[in-house]
Amino acid sequence: MAIQSGLLRYARNDTEEAMSLYPFLRPLAFALDAETAHRATIAALRAAPGRKPPRFDPALTTSVAGVGFPSPVGLAAGFDKDAEVTGPMLGLGFGFVEVGTVTPLARAGNPRPRLFRLVEDRAVINRMGFNNRGQADALKRLALRDRSSGVVGVNIGASKDGADRITDYVAGVDRMSPVADYLTVNISSPNTPGLRELQGGGELQELLAAVQSARIVGGPPVFLKVAPDLEDGDQERIARAAIDHGIDALIVANTTVGRPPLKSRFAAEQGGLSGAPLGPLALDQLRKFRAIVRSDLPLIAVGGIASADDAWARIKAGASLVQLYSAMVYEGPGVARKIARGLADRLRNEGFSTISEAVGRE
Ligand SMILES: Cc1cc2nc3c(=O)[nH]c(=O)nc-3n(C[C@H](O)[C@H](O)[C@H](O)COP(=O)(O)O)c2cc1C
């Protein structure tokens, strides 16, 4: 109860106060197992009264694939899987929110425990396995939201792990397009057996061709989210396939199955690693994609971003937008607004008048 009411107070508070409260709330949240803390946070955010998004510095306004973003700092997929708290997260200062992954039918995901905080490493390992209540459930809530209150992308996946997964992506495009400001085709979660094989040559072509033919005129742009665990040559093949099939942006990257040196006792847990130790790998992959696509295909950077310096480095390396998830666990939800402010300062200090001018200028 103390935690619930603490989180509720936190969710109700102004972002400034939220930032200063978080160091006190963090030990409460960390006393719970990670998934219970996450559920409590969602419940508290749902209960909190609605708050309008902050007014961002106009220099942060940017447009990607025809969508206007008030700030380039977004919430990555996986936090709000079932589209329960898009309004509160926009209110906390995320320039956009990506919900999902949602699959056509509900999925229970893997047995618990399946989410681990690696506190010493400022990292997270998860093997959630696409747990979600299904697209119809998310659709209900998204259909009711006020679209003018901010940008919400919908990340789609497959209900089953079998061979006819492509049908599920097509169903996701059909069903979720009317409520999405953009769609993300997620073929890169490491916790769904065989999913990342969709990044391979023939399968990727087939998937992207099917997605392309499911799109309707006037529908939302479609982004493709890739894994950071790629071999040299994969980037060229994926980027070409994406461009050939009209993908509007690449999101680089999902969690890694790799294990850089880690201190936490959870280091050997199976699943995808995110947070600080993923940063260098995600940045490296971003640079590789940028060298191939140049300005032909926008890139969205995610993985280990926790500060304005991190976000600025990704923008200079070629990202038009950034997203984060794990940093929120350690820094609190005010982190997005703090990064947005830091980015506005950096723009001015380095003589740029907009984010898009700074993209790829390292
Ligand atoms: C608990 C958890 C669940 C996630 N679930 C999804 C998901 O459903 N779909 C997806 O595309 N990415 C998912 N991700 C990956 C994030 O969107 C992001 O790509 C990754 O965590 C790296 O960013 P970060 O270091 O800022 O956390 C998840 C990450 C975490 C930590």
CA–CA separation, 157 vs 189, rounded Å?
Answer: 9
Which tokens in the block code for residue 94?
Answer: 């995320």
Closest CA to 337 of 71, 116, 141, 151: 71
From 189, 274, 320, 326, the catalytic residue: 189
Distance 350 CA to ligand 1 centre (A): 31
Please report which confidence band the pLDDT of residue 1 belongs to, taking 50, 70 and 90 as the band edges: very low
Q: Ligand 1 centre and the CA of 255: distance in Å? A: 6
pLDDT of 221-262, one tens digit each? 999 999 999 988 899 999 999 999 999 999 999 999 999 999
| Shortest-distance atom of ligand 1 to CA 100 | 8
Pocket residue to mutate for ligand 1, from 75, 79, 255, most atoms within 8 A of Cβ: 255
Structure tokens at 232: 């040299």
Q: What angle do CA 177, 223, 300 make, to 5 degrees?
A: 135
249 Cβ contact list (under 8 Å, min separation 6) = 64, 65, 182, 221, 223, 224, 297, 298, 299, 300, 320
| Domain residue ranges in the chain | 1-49, 54-358
Q: What percent of the chain has pLDDT over 70?
A: 92
Q: To the nearest 10°, report the CA torsion of 294, 241, 127, 138.
A: 100
Per-residue model confidence as pLDDT tens digits over 124-135: 999 999 999 999
Can you tell me the distance from the alpha carbon of 306 to that of 291, in angstroms, rounded to the nearest whole number? 24
Q: How many CB atoms lie within 10 A of CB 271?
A: 21
**φ/ψ bin of 25: left (φ > 0), alpha (ψ from -120 to 50), beta (otherwise):** alpha
Mean pLDDT value of segment 47-74: 94
Is the CA virtual torsion 245, 249, 251, 252 positive or negative? Answer: positive
DSSP string, 4-28: HHHHHHHHHS-HHHHHHHHHHHHHH
Provide mean pLDDT across the span 335-360. Answer: 96
The model's pTM is 0.95
Ligand 1 atom with least separation from CA of 274 = 25
Q: Return the closest-CA partner of residue 157 out of 122, 121, 188, 120.
A: 188
Chain segment 75-89, per-residue pLDDT in tens: 999 999 999 999 999
Which residue puts its alpha carbon closest to atom 18 of ligand 1?
Answer: 254
Sign of torsion, CA 134 137 143 149?
negative
| Ligand 1 surroundings by CB, under 6 angstroms | 76-78, 81, 100-101, 115, 124, 126, 128, 155, 186, 189, 225, 254-255, 274-275, 278, 302-305, 324-327
Enter the tokens of residue 49. 């009264």
Instruction: For ligand 1, atom 26, name the residue with the nearest CA.
Output: 324
Give residue 34's pLDDT: 87
Which of 254, 278, 339 best tests ligand 1's pocket when mutated (most atoms within 8 Å of CB)? 254
Side by side, the strands of the sheet bearing 272-275 are: 115-118, 123-126, 272-275
Please report, as a single letter, which amino acid is at residue 138.
Answer: A
Question: How much distance in Å is there from the Cα of 28 to the middle of ligand 1?
Answer: 23
Nearest protein Cα to ligand 1, atom 2: 78
What is the tens place of the pLDDT at every residue in 179-204? 999 999 999 888 766 666 777 767 89
Average the pLDDT over 331-346 and give the result.
94
- Structure confidence by residue, pLDDT tens digits, 272-304: 999 999 999 999 999 999 999 999 999 999 999
- What is the 120 CA–ligand 1 centroid distance (Å)? 19
Architecture (CATH level 2) of domain 54-358? Alpha-Beta Barrel (3.20)
126 alpha carbon – ligand 1 mean position (Å): 8
Which range has the worst mean pLDDT, 7-11, 16-20, 136-140, 326-330? 7-11
189 is catalytic: yes
Predicted confidence (pLDDT) per residue in 37-55, tens digit: 899 889 988 988 778 899 9
| CA of residue 53 relative to chain centroid, distance | 18
Q: Which atom of ligand 1 is nearest to the CA of 306?
A: 26
Ligand 1 centroid to residue 124 C-alpha, Å: 9
Q: What is the pLDDT of residue 196?
A: 67
Q: 306 pLDDT band (50/70/90 cuts)?
A: very high
Measured N-to-C along each axis, helices 34-47 and 2-12 cross at an angle, to the nearest 10 degrees, of: 50
Per the prediction, the chain carries an average pLDDT of: 91
